[in-house]
Structure 1
Amino acid sequence: MLGIGNPLRRDDGAGLWVAERLRGTGWEVIPAGQGVENALGVVRRLAPDLLVIVDAAEMGLPPGSVRRLPVEGAGRMLGSTHALPLPFLLGTVWDAVGKMVLIGIQPADRSLGEGLTPAVQVGAEALVALLRAGDVEAVPPMPLPARADRPQSPPPEPRPGSRGARAPRSPRLSTP
């Protein structure tokens, strides 16, 4: 279990809060904090069958809501407290992990300060109970949000007489 976040920014420390409460319960706990990139070597060495990552995530839900997030779309929901985008970092250990589950907790307050807000603590406690029971799938999924640049319907069929559909473009790096 990889706990992520900044405990000096109130609810942003929810992932670390969960990690601390899973110590000694059969979970291998890696409290990464803000240094996710520093914990990835440990993940690679352990090569777990299941890697659960917990972090605060802006999901547009009531504070304390807990959801399983799609790794490919999570970059838009996770906070900006990470030096590099979390999906990029997790991609570096994808081949060493059997299954990867990213869980977000909706924060209420990311201002400077210590301790979780009451609503986020309730959500984090519920998550700890589910993880202690080994019931990761009981965490409700968060659907990938729609994006303006993603087609909402399948691409049209090729016109008769055309050469067919275009070959897929190769991935390119882009700058913001």
Structure 2
Amino acid sequence: MPKEQTTLIIGYGNPLRQDDGLGQVVAERLQAVDWASSVAVMAVHQLTIDLAEEASQVDRLILIDAAQGDPPAALSVETIQADQAAFDPFSHYVTPSALLAATAAIYGRTPVCTLLTINALSLEIGEGLSPVVAARLPELLEQVKALVDAS
């Protein structure tokens, strides 16, 4: 019998900056789903190098974040590759490709990684997602579930 594929979903962002909190809002909703034991969900403020340990232990990594760009509320799905040039072990800012590079450098393996983003309308100080971004949540949640099911 083939080994069950393991998946880690990380939603990240600042919930006190309106749409920047998208990743955490999505992660909190996904934590309420009755996933198989092979799926874990985390909500964090930002990607950090210490997440490389968790990333090294799974087959698939799904990252969820708000993005800056036009048009607001546009949904993007992107496959991420490790980028050694982006990896700075002394940096406080870690991109998805730098996280994968750290995972490879420290643990010798990387998961398949997908980044899902929705373009923010507002990153001003305040709680809650803008209505236009919140309206895209059902589609984003379905995309995440489809990725997990495809694993």
Q: TM-score, normalised by structure 1?
A: 0.61
Mapped contact 1:4–1:15 kept (Cα < 8 A): yes
Task: Indicate which of 27, 34, 42 corresponds to 2:46.
Answer: 34
The aligned residue for residue 5 of structure 1 is: 13
Aligned-residue offset at 1:136:
6.7
Choose which of 18, 26, 31 in structure 2 pairs with 1:18.
Answer: 26
Residues in 1 aligned to 2:40 and 2:109: alpha-carbon distance in whole angstroms: 15
> Does residue 1:98 correspond to 2:111, yes or no?
yes
CA distance in 1, matches of 2:116, 2:12: 10
SS in 1 for 2:135: helix
Cα deviation code 1:113-167 (max 9, x no counterpart)? 11100111122231112323x2479xxxxxxxxxxxxxxxxxxxxxxxxxxxxxx
8 Å CA contact retained: 2:59, 2:112: yes
Instruction: Note if 1:89 corresponds to 2:106.
Output: no
- Identity percentage over the alignment? 30
Unaligned runs of 5+ in 2: 1-8, 82-90
How many residues of Structure 1 are paired with residues of Structure 2 in the alignment?
Answer: 126
What displacement does 1:88 show? 1.6
Partner Cα separation in structure 1 for residue 118 and residue 132 of structure 2: 10
The structure in which a higher percent of residues are strand is 2
Higher relative contact order (CA 8 A, sep 6+): 2
Name the aligned partner's letter for residue 29 of structure 1. Answer: V
TM-score normalised per structure 2: 0.70
Give the Cα separation in 2 of the matches to 1:37 and 1:122.
32
Query: Which consecutive residues of structure 1, in runs of 5 or more, have no partner in the other structure?
Result: 73-81, 138-176
Counterpart in 2 of 1:121? 134
CA RMSD between the two structures: 2.7
CA deviation after TM superposition for structure 1 residue 70, in Å: 4.7
Corresponding residue for residue 107 of structure 1: 120
TM-superposed deviation, 1:8: 0.7
2:131 paired with 1:131:
no
1:67 and 1:35, CA in 2 relative to 1: closer, same or farther beyond 3 A? closer
